[in-house]
């Protein structure tokens, strides 16, 4: 059996028609859900790409192993497990945070992250951009104006979903054995620019100007500007949905879907001033953490699962679907029993994490800055508790206040204390992971030196 994992950057759960959005902008994703298993309460472990994907691919928490948000020897990836099991593996995406520089290539036979060698990337469009940086710096209105002009002329900085699909189809055409394919689309991420052939440079400049205002001063957005901002986001979702529909049709023509599972999810959502902010990262509200999750494939009956699940569980679920034992380092549980009506997760808590981060001199290899801004949320079926290092914590009754507008931490102190105690235990567990894992590696090294087989 084969598996295709499609992840979409910044896609909120509430934008899918099958999850209640009144504007029908996702007919192809809705059709996929109508034929497979739809999880209505799938929760991401992080509110931006680095924290979400480290968990999604390794089934570990972001703050574990020193909070390094890139693939190190201490984390085992889904692709590595599948490659060792004999699968042909390929990944196609344009997100720098998920590049080979951050170790995401590990386990992939073919890995296209669209990152060119920096020494040879002096394109005609790059040279003037670097020149502008040297002349006027990178701060202030003048630089922002020049940057918008540059993007308006250059178009979308990310490889389009259509281009990724073409690469994937070429790769699939050459496969003769079991395969695992991962596609990550960046089209729903800012800038919300449709393909350059459909809008003029002047229109692109206007869009970029609006998005700059949304990023720098969201409080200054008028209702009309916010509505336009949201409409641009919806238009990109519609574009991605169309592209996914075309991709699925190509798979049908290639007779691939009969023995292939297709999974669609997102790394996180996007904010549109629900809590005063736009964009994503650092905050742990549901507009960022609540993501779509659809699993379709042979032998799965169409159903809707309303129990809360975590994307921490996705990698173990994939391995269970393919009949592969999960490694001991994977913390998540398989959702397959739940999909077959043989499991019940009840109100098991879901932890999500985020914090300010540090990066190396290339602006990559993010690492949690545990000295400030550390946030952990615990989400039950009814409540969500948000712990914020050095600041006031928050408690929300999700059943009566799904928009998380009323902090009731002082209204229900017993519930707050119970959930905070669980978060403190979670933090203690994560703190032990580094020392435990180092000792495990030292033991393996000693066994290898002694000529003994390492299990």
pLDDT surpassing 70 at residue 389 = yes
Question: Is the Cβ–Cβ distance between 262 and 301 less than 8 Å?
Answer: no
For the chain, state the CA radius of gyration: 22
Cα 40 from Cα 368, distance rounded (Å):
30
pLDDT band of residue 155 (cuts 50, 70, 90) is low
Cα 239 from Cα 26, distance rounded (Å):
9
All residues at 6 or more sequence positions from 297 whose CB lies less than 8 Å from its CB, including other chains: 1, 3, 36, 260, 261, 262, 321
Q: Which of 219-233, 352-366, 410-424 is predicted least confidently?
A: 352-366
**Is 144 domain-assigned?**
no
Closest CA to 91 of 167, 157, 162: 167
**Is 66 domain-assigned?**
yes
Q: What are phi and psi of 351, to 5 degrees?
A: -95, 140
Closest CA to 186 of 68, 280, 250, 119: 280
**Is 234 domain-assigned?**
yes
Cα 150 from Cα 198, distance rounded (Å):
18
**Is 194 domain-assigned?**
yes
Q: Which two tokens stand for residue 165?
A: 């699909």
How confident is the model at residue 450, as a pLDDT?
67
Judged by DSSP in three states, 293 sits in strand
pTM of the model: 0.88
End-to-end CA distance of the chain: 27
pLDDT band of residue 444 (cuts 50, 70, 90) is low
pLDDT tens digit string along 42-84? 999 999 999 999 999 999 999 999 889 999 988 999 999 999 9
pLDDT band of residue 128 (cuts 50, 70, 90) is very low
Question: Is the Cβ–Cβ distance between 25 and 204 less than 8 Å?
Answer: no
Judged by DSSP in three states, 74 sits in coil
Secondary-structure percent of the chain, ordered helix, strand, coil, rounded to 5: 45, 15, 40
User: How many residues does the structure list for the chain?
Assistant: 455
**Is 128 domain-assigned?**
no
How confident is the model at residue 148, as a pLDDT?
43
Q: Indicate the number of domains in the chain.
A: 1
All residues at 6 or more sequence positions from 368 whose CB lies less than 8 Å from its CB, including other chains: 62, 63, 66, 67, 68, 69, 355, 357, 358, 374
∠ CA 116-368-386, nearest 5°, is 125
How confident is the model at residue 82, as a pLDDT?
98
Closest CA to 327 of 336, 315, 338, 309: 315
Each residue of 299-316: b (16+ CB within 10 Å) or e?
A: ebeeeebebbbbbbbbbb
Q: Which residue carries 């669609």 as its tokens?
A: 264
DSSP 258: G
pLDDT tens digit string along 245-281? 999 999 999 999 999 999 999 999 999 999 999 999 8
Cα 29 from Cα 229, distance rounded (Å):
23
Give the domain range for residue 222: 2-114+158-449
Q: Which of 41-45, 73-77, 378-382, 432-436 is predicted least confidently?
A: 432-436
Cα 164 from Cα 7, distance rounded (Å):
12
Residue 250: CATH number of its domain: 3.40.720.10
Q: Which two tokens stand for residue 272?
A: 């549109």
All residues at 6 or more sequence positions from 419 whose CB lies less than 8 Å from its CB, including other chains: 378, 380, 383, 385, 395
Question: Is the Cβ–Cβ distance between 376 and 353 less than 8 Å?
Answer: yes
**Is 48 domain-assigned?**
yes
All residues at 6 or more sequence positions from 400 whose CB lies less than 8 Å from its CB, including other chains: none
pLDDT surpassing 60 at residue 132 = no
**Is 136 domain-assigned?**
no
pLDDT surpassing 80 at residue 309 = yes
pLDDT band of residue 227 (cuts 50, 70, 90) is very high
pLDDT surpassing 50 at residue 345 = yes
pLDDT tens digit string along 173-206? 999 899 999 999 999 999 898 766 667 888 888 9
H runs (alpha helix) in 20-175? 27-35, 49-58, 78-84, 126-136, 141-154, 161-173
**Is 145 domain-assigned?**
no
Cα 387 from Cα 389, distance rounded (Å):
7
Please report the sign of the dihedral spanned by the C-alpha atoms of residue 94, residue 95, residue 98, residue 103.
Answer: positive
Closest CA to 273 of 307, 226, 311: 226
pLDDT surpassing 80 at residue 346 = no
pLDDT band of residue 121 (cuts 50, 70, 90) is very low
pLDDT surpassing 90 at residue 92 = yes
Please report the sign of the dihedral spanned by the C-alpha atoms of residue 405, residue 409, residue 411, residue 416.
Answer: positive
How confident is the model at residue 198, as a pLDDT?
67
pLDDT surpassing 50 at residue 392 = yes
Q: Which residue carries 């029993």 as its tokens?
A: 337
Closest CA to 281 of 273, 292, 269: 269
H runs (alpha helix) in 222-361? 223-253, 286-289, 314-321, 336-339
């Amino acid at each position: 059996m084969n598996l295709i994992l499609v992840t979409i950057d910044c896609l909120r759960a509430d934008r899918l028609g099958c999850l209640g959005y009144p504007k029908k902008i996702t007919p192809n994703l809705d059709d996929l859900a109508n034929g497979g298993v739809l999880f209505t309460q799938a929760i991401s472990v992080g509110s931006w790409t680095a924290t979400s994907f480290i968990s999604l691919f390794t089934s570990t928490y972001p703050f574990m192993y020193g909070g390094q948000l890139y693939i190190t020897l201490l984390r085992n990836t889904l692709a590595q497990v599948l490659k060792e099991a004999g699968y042909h593996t390929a990944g196609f995406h344009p997100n720098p945070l998920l590049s080979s520089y951050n170790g995401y290539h590990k386990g992939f036979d073919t890995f296209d992250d669209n990152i060119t060698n920096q020494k040879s990337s002096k394109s005609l469009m790059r040279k003037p951009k670097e020149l502008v940086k040297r002349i006027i710096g990178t701060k202030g209105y003048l630089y922002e104006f020049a940057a918008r002009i540059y993007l308006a002329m250059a178009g979308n900085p990310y490889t389009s979903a259509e281009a990724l699909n073409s690469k994937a189809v070429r790769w699939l055409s050459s496969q003769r054995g079991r395969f695992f394919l991962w596609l990550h689309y960046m089209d729903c991420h800012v800038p919300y620019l449709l393909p350059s052939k459909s809008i003029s440079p002047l229109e692109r400049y206007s869009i970029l100007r609006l998005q700059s205002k949304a990023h720098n001063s969201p409080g200054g957005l008028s209702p009309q500007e916010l509505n336009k901002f949201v409409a641009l986001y919806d238009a990109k979702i519609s574009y991605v949905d169309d592209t996914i529909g075309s991709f699925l049709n190509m798979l049908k023509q290639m007779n691939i879907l009969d023995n292939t599972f297709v999974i669609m999810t997102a790394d996180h959502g996007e904010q549109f001033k629900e809590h005063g902010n736009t964009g994503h990262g650092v905050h742990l509200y549901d507009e960022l953490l609540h993501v779509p999750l659809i699993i379709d494939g042979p032998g799965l009956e169409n159903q809707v699962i309303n129990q809360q699940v975590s994307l921490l569980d996705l990698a173990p679920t994939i391995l269970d679907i393919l009949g592969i034992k999960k490694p001991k380092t994977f913390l998540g549980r398989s959702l397959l029993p739940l999909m077959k009506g043989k499991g019940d997760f009840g109100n098991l808590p879901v932890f999500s994490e985020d914090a300010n981060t540090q990066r190396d001199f290339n602006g990559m290899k993010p690492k949690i800055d545990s000295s400030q801004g550390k946030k952990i949320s615990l989400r039950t079926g009814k409540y969500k508790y948000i712990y914020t290092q050095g600041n006031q914590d928050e408690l929300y009754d999700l059943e009566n206040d799904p928009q998380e507008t009323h902090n009731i931490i002082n209204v229900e102190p017993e519930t707050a204390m119970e959930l905070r105690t669980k978060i403190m235990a979670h933090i203690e567990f994560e703190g032990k992971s580094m020392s435990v894992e180092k000792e495990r590696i030292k033991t393996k090294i000693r066994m290898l030196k002694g000529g003994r087989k390492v299990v």
